[in-house]
Amino acid sequence: MSRYTLKHQHPQYGPVNVAYGFDRPLGEYFLIVERESDEDPLFAVASYNTTFPHPSHPAKLNYSNSELLDLFKEFGVPEEHCESLGMDIPF
């Protein structure tokens, strides 16, 4: 599993901690976002195994690479990792 973390200032959610990467055993990309002031995830989405749905899409449990790429960019994931996701290359 690759797992990266960063801090991001989001216009809607304020300061957030972001964890993202590729889970090799499950074969899926993931993105976990939590507010700095709260230990519970704001949302935790993945290609197939979403555990905490995005607030805007509470019934959505599967995300395409394109949909995850939009979220990666929204939450400040570095361009090199966005490019890898866009080309479906695990990082």
Is the residue at 27 inside a domain? yes
Supply 62's token pair.
Answer: 């599967």
Is the residue at 68 inside a domain? yes
Is the residue at 56 inside a domain? yes
- pLDDT of 18 reads 97
The total of structural domains in the chain comes to: 1
- Each residue's pLDDT tens digit in the chain (91 positions)? 899 999 999 999 999 999 999 999 999 999 999 999 887 899 999 999 999 999 999 999 999 999 999 999 999 999 999 999 999 888 8
Is the residue at 13 inside a domain? yes
Per DSSP (E only), the strands in the chain are 2-10, 14-23, 28-35, 43-46
Give per-residue pLDDT as tens, 10-34.
999 999 999 999 999 999 999 999 9
